Amino acid sequence: MSALLQIENLQVTFNTRHGQVTALDSVSLSVNAGETLGVVGESGCGKSITALSVMGLIPMPPGRIAGGSIKLNGEELVGASDARLRGLRGSEVAMIFQEPMTSLNPVFSIGDQIAEAIMLHQNVSYDQAFKDAVALLDRVGIPSPDRRARDYPHQLSGGMRQRVMIAMAVSCRPKVLIADEPTTALDVTVQAQIFDLLNEIQRDFGAAIMLITHDMGAISEMADRVAVMYAGRVIEEASADQVLDTPQHPYARGLIDCIPALGKQETELREIPGVVPPLHMLGQGCAFKARCAHARPRCGTEKPLLRSHGAHPVACHGAEEGWL
Amino acid sequence: MSTPKPTPQKAPQMPADTTDAATDAAAQFVARYQAESPAREAWRMFRRNIPALVGTAMLLLIIGLTLYGTLIYTGDPFDIVWAPHEAPFVEPDFPLGTDYLGRDLMAGLLSGGGPTLAVGAAAAALTMIIGISMGALSGFYGGWVDNLLMRITEFFQVLPALLFAMVLVTLFSPSLITIAIAIGVVSWPQTARLTRAEFLKIKELEYVTAARAIGAGNGRIMWRVILPNALPPLIVSATLTIGVAILFEAGLSFLGLGDPNVMSWGLMIGANRDYILDAWWPVTFPGLAIFFTVFSVSLIGDGLNDAFNPKLRER
């Protein structure tokens, strides 16, 4: 069985002034139609690079896809021609960005922008595309859409702009929708509305969603499956319930421990000590070893691989040997 | 700046029980803050700027006079119609007097404006076309394209502009078209640099990536996404370029490199400059005409600058 979007052993490198660094190291992920895959991790873990790789938007140079494959519906995207990728973007794979404030072109009305996106992939007149745009705005819950379509981005609130971005992203009924921290810049109340909308859209369109976030609350609300990333590698992958209830990797446990629980009296918020190491200073062994309370000598010499040890796949020597 | 969201909480007087009424009220609320495009907003700012309005009125008057003046005040500006060096405001038939050959200065002034303005506008248009294309390509593609185009730009930038324009006009026979081309060819580097800077800045913005993500190609991103956002400073620069081009044309004509068969303000000054000590008026009136034209264009350019950059104004 092959998934709608299948990423295998994806290797992405960047040339920096510290030499070549590996931003993604054998990342394998898959999403099926109608399914939501959550990709979690701290800033700088490679979540956004994974998303941009799928879109074919890695800046090259300095970036380079050094190996692996990305298959969309069985079609190989790594090494596909620019024209082919351009045809796929928007129509087959679409992306919602983190900052709705800056992801819309300020000099065109929102209806214009959505109509433009439609006309890029469908052979329709401007009038028809604009009508479709108004219908989409209505679909994503913008009040009086026919009037709002003539508004400019600066006249909308953050939540409304994100709705517009969603309308634009689904305008050509893409099979895969990548949402890169779609609610990070929004109010908590608006976040819930956006998640509801994404869920509805998924039900209507049957799209596969890849939700990139560092918010475990978003994961519990949206995701069917979760991949935890750290320093450019997938370190744990399982169903959302499994990861939330019985996380294996010390990093995944740390992330879940960081969620402040309602009702519990806690004076201090928990955190994972330390920061993600810079990619040019990873060295040998497990990338998490310096921040891990359970690290043993083996962690410093041998890179743990993503393997299933009973419960679900995890890349940790401790989980493998049972000394966590 | 942003329109308040039409939420029921913000308008407590609205009946909360019927959603239809709430939607209606919300729609009215929205209607009051009706969509205003950035261009219209700039126009609203421009309208409040008194100097810019004065400049616009002045320029419209000048354009009107040069377009229609010759219809009312007929007479060939090259015809010798009276004694040379007739003082102005003396002879009612020749209100501005005559030049060293006895040609009517009023006729010269009215019919010389058209060519002067036309050359200025054409040269500015050419400047913008070359400058924007070069700047856009080098800013957008970067790398070796940028290097190559910027070296070419620098080559043109270090040439003494007036001298180079003189060479071009001398090489090809002086006509209005060659003069406009010569001015355009020497003055585009500044526009290219400005465009490049804007493109370098804007191409990193998220909405450009977002446009790529919906499948837009390079050409569309350059001309439909980045250029409209880069336009405000370019429009200002284009306006000011018109003024510079008019001065350039006058300068070339003054040096005797203008089109000798077409009356222009520069030509009038150039022809009469030898007799400036005997008669002040044949050079003063066209000089003032050039001054007021360039001044009004500059006022408009300044007004546009303020209108597009409301943050620059201290209020």
**Predicted local distance difference test score (pLDDT) of residue B53:** 92
Highest mean pLDDT (candidates A87-91, A314-318, B289-293): B289-293
Neighboring chain B residues of A121 at a CB cutoff of 8 Å: 215
Quick: pLDDT tens for A238-288: 887 877 787 778 788 777 777 766 666 666 667 777 777 777 777 777 877
The residues in A 244-263 lying below 8 A from B, measured between CB atoms, are none
Neighboring chain A residues of B33 at a CB cutoff of 8 Å: 155
Neighboring chain B residues of A95 at a CB cutoff of 8 Å: 210, 213
Quick: pLDDT tens for B227-264: 988 988 898 888 888 888 888 888 888 888 888 888 88
Name all domains of chain B by residue range, CATH numbers in brackets: 41-73+106-313 (1.10.3720.10)
What is the model's pTM? 0.79
Residue of B5, B214, B234, B309 to mutate for A, most A C-beta atoms under 10 A = B214
- Res. A134: pLDDT tops 90: yes
Which residues, at least 6 apart from B234, have a Cβ–Cβ distance to it below 8 Å? B128, B132, B191, B194, B195, B198
Residue of A110, A151, A186, A187 to mutate for B, most B C-beta atoms under 10 A = A151
Q: How far is B243 from chain A (nearest CA, A)?
A: 28
**Predicted local distance difference test score (pLDDT) of residue B16:** 43
Q: Which amino acid type is present at position A176? A: V
Yes or no, beta carbons of B3 and A102 under 8 Å apart: no
Instruction: Identify the helix (H) or strand (E) that includes residue B126.
Output: helix B105-141
Nearest residue in chain B measured CA to CA from A89: B215
Q: Can you tell me which residue has the tokens 């939700």? A: A211
Yes or no, beta carbons of B30 and A144 under 8 Å apart: yes
Collapsing DSSP to helix, strand or coil, B285 comes out as: helix
- Does A143 reach chain B within 8 Å, measured CB to CB? yes
Residue of A103, A123, A212 to mutate for B, most B C-beta atoms under 10 A = A103
Residues B77 and B262: their CA atoms lie apart, in Å, by 9
Q: Can you tell me which residue has the tokens 């009276």? A: B82
Between chain A and chain B, the number of residue pairs with CB atoms below 8 A apart is 101
Which residues, at least 6 apart from B18, have a Cβ–Cβ distance to it below 8 Å? none
Q: How far is B306 from chain A (nearest CA, A)?
A: 18
Neighboring chain A residues of B217 at a CB cutoff of 8 Å: 86
Cross-chain CB nearest to B35 (options A91, A121, A150): A150
Yes or no, beta carbons of B207 and A104 under 8 Å apart: yes
Neighboring chain A residues of B25 at a CB cutoff of 8 Å: none
**Predicted local distance difference test score (pLDDT) of residue B194:** 94
Q: At what angle do helices B227-254 and B265-272 cross, to 10 degrees?
A: 30
**ipTM surpassing 0.85, yes or no?**
no
Neighboring chain A residues of B224 at a CB cutoff of 8 Å: 116
Quick: pLDDT tens for B27-44: 555 554 555 677 777 788
**Predicted local distance difference test score (pLDDT) of residue B12:** 43
> What secondary structure does DSSP assign to B75-91, as a single string?
--TTSB-S-TTPPTTTS
Task: Return the beta strands (E) in B138-197 as ranges.
Answer: none
Intervals of chain B under pLDDT 70: 1-36, 310-315
**Predicted local distance difference test score (pLDDT) of residue A255:** 79
Nearest residue in chain B measured CA to CA from A154: B2
